[in-house]
Amino acid sequence: MRPFTFERATSPEQAVSAYAAQPHARYLAGGTNLVDLMKLGVETPEHLIDVSRLPLTDIEPAQDGGLRVGANVRNSDLAAHPAVCRGYPALSQALLAGASGQLRNVATTGGNLLQRTRCPYFQDVSAPCNKREPGTGCSARDGVNRDMAVLGHSPQCVATHPSDMAVALSAYDAEVELLGPEGVRTVPAAEFHRLPGDTPQQDTVLRPGELISHVTLPAPPPGARAAYRKARDRASYAFALASVAAVLVVDDDGTVGHAALAFGGLAHRPWRARTAEEALRGAPAGAAAFRSAVDAELEAARPLSDNGFKVPLARNLAVHLLTLLADSSTATAGPAGPHSPAGT
């Protein structure tokens, strides 16, 4: 047992002040990732600040017609919220695809975003890992790397980000609101997580002491259809080998008016497919254009020895999902629920 001190924050501002007063402090909400890593000896905080009871549990309309979600909203509550099921079905589907029902009942919106980008070598304190101990090497690069990154990795780290929710938030152009010693700032969800570069120990752009307070989702584009799909080794409770969140608008002339695409399971962070999106704007909404755009995005892939299959897997997932959305945009459909392939 490694000793640590503990306190319960009474307000977001008090939590930030408590963090500044304690070296090697960590915030604790649901604890579904942090506590596991503490048990393994990977994380060894000297002080825990419990933020789980802070009044950050509302899901409310945003000023622009979107949604503002408190950082302590549980994953299960967010997935089932009527406004999410109706307006952001890809987010609901992504949440339901992650973890187990028991974990979703505990895990929070902020905590989901802050779970560590990791691999089995990161969780094994006997193995060299630049993410855990910078400068020691990356065991996964020449080791068991079937589940590792094919995009954006570096010689220092090839781990993949595990969140399903973060992939959908990226595709929806969500923003993460942060409260820190210097005040409040917002960061696009697509830029919240980092690629490894030479500093793989830094998963996010968080500054010391910053606390996630809210996530804001803008109003979806008029006529948008959206969905999330995930490929994994078993039907439940497994990280993505590849996943995709897509938001698509097909104009009356049959061309793509808006396309947002994000991949999971392929990189150190959710991978926003900007190259594919640019290629799709104004293109005919059909399988040929979808395949060409996704292929252009995946040209940057650099598979390792055992994970080359991820490239065609991701391509096929994305093309199939975009085709379904394009077809559903021209068909009559009822209200979308959390398992529907399309949204309003």
Q: What is the pTM of this model?
A: 0.94
> Per-residue confidence at 64, pLDDT binned at 50, 70, 90?
confident
pLDDT on residue 72: 98
The C-alpha atoms of residue 91 and residue 89 are separated, in whole angstroms, by: 5
Question: Does residue 36 belong to any structural domain of this protein?
Answer: yes
Residue with tokens 């080359």: 308
Digit-coded pLDDT (tens) for 252-301: 999 999 999 999 999 999 999 999 999 999 999 999 999 999 999 999 99
Digit-coded pLDDT (tens) for 93-108: 999 999 899 999 999 9
> Per-residue confidence at 339, pLDDT binned at 50, 70, 90?
very low
pLDDT on residue 341: 46
Question: Does residue 33 belong to any structural domain of this protein?
Answer: yes
Residue with tokens 């990161």: 122
pLDDT on residue 82: 98
Question: Does residue 166 belong to any structural domain of this protein?
Answer: no
CATH of the domain at 255: 3.30.390.50
pLDDT on residue 319: 98
CB atoms within 10 A of CB 261: 27
Please check the confidence at residue 249 and state whether its pLDDT lies above 90.
yes
Question: Does residue 159 belong to any structural domain of this protein?
Answer: no
pLDDT on residue 336: 38
Please check the confidence at residue 344 and state whether its pLDDT lies above 60.
no
pLDDT on residue 334: 32
Digit-coded pLDDT (tens) for 155-166: 999 999 999 999
> Per-residue confidence at 331, pLDDT binned at 50, 70, 90?
low
Digit-coded pLDDT (tens) for 172-183: 999 999 999 999
Q: Give the mean model confidence (pLDDT) for residues 26-37.
A: 96
Digit-coded pLDDT (tens) for 308-327: 999 999 999 999 999 999 99
pLDDT on residue 337: 37
Instruction: Enumerate the β-bridge partners of residue 68.
Output: 60, 216
Range of 23's domain? Answer: 5-50
pLDDT on residue 235: 86
Token readout for 14 is 């008090």
CATH of the domain at 46: 3.30.43.10
Provide the percentage of residues in the chain whose pLDDT is more than 90. 92
Digit-coded pLDDT (tens) for 236-247: 889 999 999 999
Question: Does residue 42 belong to any structural domain of this protein?
Answer: yes
The total number of structural domains in the chain stands at: 2
Report the run of H or E that residue 177 belongs to, with start and end: strand 175-180
Question: Does residue 283 belong to any structural domain of this protein?
Answer: yes
Question: Does residue 229 belong to any structural domain of this protein?
Answer: yes
pLDDT on residue 330: 61
Provide the percentage of residues in the chain whose pLDDT is more than 70. 96
The DSSP symbol for 302 reads: -
The C-alpha atoms of residue 94 and residue 230 are separated, in whole angstroms, by: 8
Question: Does residue 259 belong to any structural domain of this protein?
Answer: yes
